[in-house]
Structure 1
Amino acid sequence: MNTDKHKKQIEDRIAELTTQMQKISDDLDQPLPAHLEDQAIDLEDDEVLERLGQANQQEVRLLNAALKRIADGSYGVCAKCGDDISDARLAAVPYAMICRNCAAAA
């Protein structure tokens, strides 16, 4: 399997997520408004941003693990059955560790 295309896709996604996480961090660092009603809305928004930031961090961890699998030659091989993971699946889920059949069985 030629992993160059997947590696580039993963690196681009990590860069995109890193940019998003920086914007989230900048938004969370903003002071609260003076009015209590506006503060309540901002606090709710901050909770959503924090959850989004956590999801982004998790995806970055998964993508970095995929880069390690590329480096060690195990990328694209199902961790359960040992079959190849399809290019279509890897394009959709670049950090996939199991093939479609094993994912469907789980």
Structure 2
Amino acid sequence: MTDLMTRKAALEKRLAELDDRLHEIRDELVSHNSADWEELATEREEDEVLEGQGLQGQAEMAAIRAALDRIEAGDYGFCTRCGTEISQERLDLLPHTPFCKACAR
């Protein structure tokens, strides 16, 4: 039970970090208004990178929310595909994973 609460706290902390980062990305994206064409081109390239990071962050946040839902439902730590218990080592690396190693392939 303590391990589960530790994992829940870690997931909630990561969710908050991602939320902060996504707000920073949004603020950065709306702040670009350079009049210089060269600077504007560079800003647009940077925007593409930021947008990619934002999409990755949103996907991770969705996975974390799903993991938190599984904790609440009592299903956390079990593969959503086959029902097998997910190894602690795998959960240590990917605490929000819904799949055991075999099903993740």
Same fold by TM (over 0.5)? yes
CA RMSD of aligned residues (A): 1.3
5+ unaligned residues in a row in structure 2: which ranges? none
Report the counterpart of residue 100 of structure 1 in structure 2: 101
- Structure 1 residues 39 and 87, CA, compared in 2 at 3 Å: closer, same or farther? same
Report the counterpart of residue 42 of structure 2 in structure 1: 41
Deviation at 1:92, TM superposition (A): 1.0
Runs (4 or more) in structure 1 with deviation over 6 Å come to none
Q: For residues 54-78 of structure 1, what are the alpha-carbon distances to aligned partners after superposition, in whole Å with 9 as ceiling and x for unaligned? A: 1101110110000000000000012
Percent of residue pairs identical: 39
Which range moves more in the overlay, 30-39 or 78-87? 78-87
* Secondary structure of 1:3 counterpart: helix
- Structure 1 residues 83 and 41, CA, compared in 2 at 3 Å: closer, same or farther? same
Q: TM-score with structure 2 length normalisation?
A: 0.91
Q: TM-score with structure 1 length normalisation?
A: 0.90
Which range moves more in the overlay, 37-46 or 73-82? 73-82
Q: Output the CA distance in 2 between the equivalents of 1:101 and 1:79.
A: 12
Contact 2:32 2:43 in 1 (8 A): no
In the comparison of the two structures, how many residue pairs are matched? 104
Report the counterpart of residue 20 of structure 2 in structure 1: 19
Report the counterpart of residue 63 of structure 1 in structure 2: 64
Q: Output the CA distance in 1 between the equivalents of 2:103 and 2:54.
A: 29
5+ unaligned residues in a row in structure 1: which ranges? none
Q: For residues 70-93 of structure 1, what are the alpha-carbon distances to aligned partners after superposition, in whole Å with 9 as ceiling and x for unaligned? A: 000000012233221112211211
The alignment status of 1:28 with 2:29, answered yes or no, reads: yes
Q: Output the CA distance in 1 between the equivalents of 2:19 and 2:76.
A: 23
Report the counterpart of residue 86 of structure 2 in structure 1: 85
